[in-house]
């Protein structure tokens, strides 16, 4: 199939790419646009390491054909990282040692960002529920759940 031009919003700026239909958003982000925070894990939607936000909702970018994001708003980890320092979620992961190898971290942090946007003070059960599709093989999840709890707590007490 012939390549198509797809226009969308990437981290608040207009983006336009030429890609063959069914090329995944994950591949376009990483291989065409150089946004390497978004990892490729299983390419089956089974691990969550490629999670990005599309119109604010977390989605596995490895399952999303690029033509499906035409006209939509895509946010990657680069988009939530301030020019100076870290976002509250990123800071909480750093403070709580919420990663080891780091491969799952961008996906986990995008998921946590979307969760806290939707529900600024989630219970532990709600955090665990939200993380259900994202796999971490290093940490045993405990420091990740703790970090998201801490980020929510910091936001509610206005520390950050």
Which residues of the chain form contacts with other proteins (CB under 8 A)?
41-42, 44-47, 97, 99-102, 127-129, 131-132, 135, 137-145
Q: What does the DSSP 8-state code read for residue 2?
A: -
Output the smallest distance, CB 130 to other proteins, in A.
9
Output the smallest distance, CB 148 to other proteins, in A.
10
The span from the CA of 3 to the CA of 14, in Å, is 19
Region of residue 55 (phi > 0: left; psi between -120 and 50: alpha; otherwise: beta):
left
Closest CB to other proteins among residues 47, 80? 47
Closest CB to other proteins among residues 56, 140? 140
The span from the CA of 26 to the CA of 99, in Å, is 22
Closest CB to other proteins among residues 135, 154? 135
Helix (H, G, I), strand (E, B) or coil at 51: strand
Show Cβ contacts of residue 44 under 8 Å, excluding neighbours closer than 6 positions: 62, 63
Output the smallest distance, CB 104 to other proteins, in A.
10
Output the smallest distance, CB 54 to other proteins, in A.
21
């Amino acid at each position: 199939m012939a390549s198509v031009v797809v226009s969308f919003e990437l981290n608040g700026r207009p983006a336009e790419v030429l890609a063959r239909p069914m090329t995944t958003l994950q591949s376009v982000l990483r291989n065409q646009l150089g946004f390497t925070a978004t990892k490729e894990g299983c390419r089956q939607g089974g691990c969550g390491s490629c999670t990005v936000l599309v119109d604010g909702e977390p989605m596995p970018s490895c399952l999303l054909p690029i033509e499906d994001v035409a006209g939509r708003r895509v946010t990657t980890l680069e988009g939530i990282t301030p020019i100076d320092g870290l976002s509250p979620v990123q800071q909480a992961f750093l403070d709580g040692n919420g990663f080891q190898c780091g491969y799952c971290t961008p996906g986990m942090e995008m998921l946590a960002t979307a969760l806290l946007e939707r529900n600024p003070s989630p219970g532990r059960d709600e955090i665990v529920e939200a993380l259900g599709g994202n796999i971490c093989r290093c940490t045993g999840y405990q420091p990740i759940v703790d970090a998201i709890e801490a980020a929510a707590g910091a936001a509610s007490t206005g520390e950050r």
